[in-house]
Amino acid sequence: MPAAILGDRACGKTTFLGLLYAAQVKYGTRVLDSFRFHAPLQSLRLMSQVYEGMKDSRFPGATLKDEMTHISFVFGYRKAVSGRLPMYMKERNWVHPFAKLNFAAYDVSGEDVQEFIDSGVAASPIIQQLLKSHVVVILVDCSKMTTEIDSPQFKHMLKYDSEVASLLVSLQTYKRQEFSRMRSQGVSVGDPVIYPAIVLSKFDSLRDDVLVKLGLHRGVPAGDQKRKRKEYAEALLRVFLPQTLSQLRGGKVAGVNFDQAAYFFSWVRTETSEAGMAPVGPPRIVRKEFSAEGGAEPDFSYEDYVAFIEHFRSVANKVPDEVVERENVQQSQPEPVPA
Ligand SMILES: Nc1nc2c(ncn2[C@@H]2O[C@H](COP(=O)(O)OP(=O)(O)O)[C@@H](O)[C@H]2O)c(=O)[nH]1
Ligand SMILES: [Mg+2]
């Protein structure tokens, strides 16, 4: 099942992918039987290179960024139920007992997406691939959140908001058409559901004046306090991503439903954010002490990355087999796309 990761220029996509790679390596080895990670060689190499750099205190560098034009990877989760499937599918299931999510990262400020937003015509294969997604992960750059409503940053954020909101509408429209096409071909499917997730990236750089204005404390509620985390995240989105939030909460539009959005916080501890001073040169990542858990790891929101992996386990298992089976037949190899 195709899944899209959307992000703005410099919003932390590459960093996010490097950390997801790291989390997957660490967590994946603990749940070997039930979780798999695959990526095309080029993506794998780049994701691991990003992580290696971070172990050395560095954010992804400019040269790496240039190379990093095509990123895609697959999360596979051992299927929870297969009892109700017909025999022939079970047999196939025995060979492929994993529900898969094929993630691809898209730069919303990139040429393809911008052209699509302007024209509404899904001409490029990249956009066609994007529109097939049942999952949409939206990265939001917390370092761009500001109370100065006339600043370029704030305007930029609102532009991103309207672009993401418009992509969500396109996704709904595409899903509706896709499902009615399937019905007209005699495939029995329910109503389409899109599974959204929001990643608040660079959460460590969220400014104090923003928190004060919104009456929020620094630091997110703990992972088990789902409701409070959601309220916290939505307090930010209501101000900085209002159109996107209202799309996600709009319920069923034209028979297409958005599932409850899941929220994740991504942060990396940096030397500058600790000293609370303006950075001199590029920010340096703070590493955790050497331990048996992992040599020299960057200090980052590992728990949220694990939560991300686990969240999509339930999503991968929720999608009806009819839809998945059909996609397996129809979908050619997913095109790698710009990150
Ligand atoms: N403080 C902080 N800075 C970050 C974080 N993630 C990214 N950055 C900064 O943002 C820059 C751009 O990130 P990158 O992942 O390359 O963004 P991309 O252009 O969307 O791929 C990095 O060079 C870092 O300086 C984070 O979690 N915390
Ligand atoms: Mg990048």
Higher pLDDT: 259 or 325? It is 259
Q: Which residue's CA is minimally distant from atom 9 of ligand 1?
A: 12
Single-letter residue type at 192:
P
Q: Is the pLDDT of residue 332 over 50?
A: no
Centre of ligand 1 to C-alpha 139, Å, is: 12
pLDDT of residue 148: 95
Residue 289 near residue 6 (C-beta atoms within 8 A): no
pLDDT of residue 268: 95
Q: Is the pLDDT of residue 334 over 60?
A: no
Distance CA 223, CA 234 (A): 16
- Ligand 1 closest atom vs CA 18: 15
Distance CA 30, CA 15 (A): 23
Q: Is the pLDDT of residue 329 over 50?
A: no
Centre of ligand 1 to C-alpha 167, Å, is: 23
The tokens describing 224, both together, are 């088990």
191: phi then psi, degrees, rounded to nearest 5: -80, 145
Q: Percentage of residues in the chain with pLDDT exceeding 70?
A: 83
Q: Is the pLDDT of residue 233 over 50?
A: yes
The tokens describing 327, both together, are 């996609």
Higher pLDDT: 288 or 161? It is 161
Task: Identify the band that residue 69 occupies on the pLDDT scale cut at 50, 70 and 90.
Answer: low
Region of 255 (left: φ > 0; alpha: ψ -120 to 50; beta: rest) is left
Q: Which residue's CA is minimally distant from atom 14 of ligand 1?
A: 12
Q: Which of 7-11, 29-33, 264-268 has the lowest mean pLDDT?
A: 29-33
Query: What does the mean pLDDT of the chain come to?
Result: 86
pLDDT of residue 330: 46
Ligand with the closest atom to the CA of 58: 1
* 21, 59, 109, 302, best to mutate for ligand 1 pocket (most atoms within 8 Å of CB): 59
Task: Identify the band that residue 333 occupies on the pLDDT scale cut at 50, 70 and 90.
Answer: very low
Q: Percentage of residues in the chain with pLDDT exceeding 90?
A: 67
pLDDT of residue 211: 96
Q: Is the pLDDT of residue 109 over 90?
A: yes
| Domain ranges across the chain | 2-330
- Ligand 1 closest atom vs CA 61: 23
Task: Identify the band that residue 281 occupies on the pLDDT scale cut at 50, 70 and 90.
Answer: confident
What's the chain look like in SS3?
Answer: CEEEEEECCCCCHHHHHHHHHHHHHHHHCCCCCCEEEECCHHHHHHHHHHHHHHHCCCCCCHHHHHHCCCEEEEEEEECCCCCCCCHHHHHHHHHCCEEEEEEEEEECCCHHHHHHHHHCCCCCHHHHHHHCCCEEEEEEEHHHCCCCCCCHHHHHHHHHHHHHHHHHHHHHHHHHHHHHHHHHCCCCCCCCEEEEEEEEECHHHCCHHHHHHHCCCCCCCCCCCHHHHHHHHHHHHHHHCHHHHHHHCCCCECCEEECCCEEEECCECEHHHHHCCCCCCCCCECECCCECCECCCECECHHHHHHHHHHHHHHHHHCCHHHHHHHHHHCCCCCCECC
Tell me the per-residue pLDDT of 167-182, one tens digit each, with 9 for 90 and over: 999 999 999 999 999 9
- Ligand 1 closest atom vs CA 201: 27
Q: Is the pLDDT of residue 279 over 70?
A: no
Q: Is the pLDDT of residue 114 over 70?
A: yes
Q: Which residue's CA is minimally distant from atom 10 of ligand 1?
A: 12
Beta strands 98-107; 193-201: pairing state = unpaired
Q: Is the pLDDT of residue 238 over 60?
A: yes
Tell me the per-residue pLDDT of 134-148, one tens digit each, with 9 for 90 and over: 999 999 999 999 999
The tokens describing 266, both together, are 């991504």
